[in-house]
Amino acid sequence: QVQLVESGGGSVQAGGSLRLSCVASGSTYSSYCMGWFRQAPGKEREGVAAAYTGGGSTHYADSVKGRFTISHDNAKNTLYLQMNSLKPEDSATYYCAANGHCSDEYWHLGRLFDYWGQGTEVTVSS
For 76-118, the pLDDT digits (tens) are 999 999 999 999 999 999 999 999 999 989 999 999 999 999 9
Q: What is the pLDDT of residue 17?
A: 98
3-state secondary structure of 88: helix
For 27-83, the pLDDT digits (tens) are 767 788 999 999 999 999 999 999 999 888 899 999 999 999 999 998 999 999 999
Q: What is the pLDDT of residue 84?
A: 98
Please give the Cα distance from 7 to 41 (Å, whole number): 20
Q: What is the pLDDT of residue 126?
A: 94
In degrees rounded to 5, what are phi and psi of residue 67? -115, -35
State the DSSP code for 30. S
In degrees rounded to 5, what are phi and psi of residue 74? -65, -35
Please give the Cα distance from 106 to 26 (Å, whole number): 25
For 4-26, the pLDDT digits (tens) are 999 999 999 999 999 999 999 98
Q: Within 13 Å and on the Cβ side, how many CA atoms surround 98?
A: 28
Q: What is the pLDDT of residue 14?
A: 98
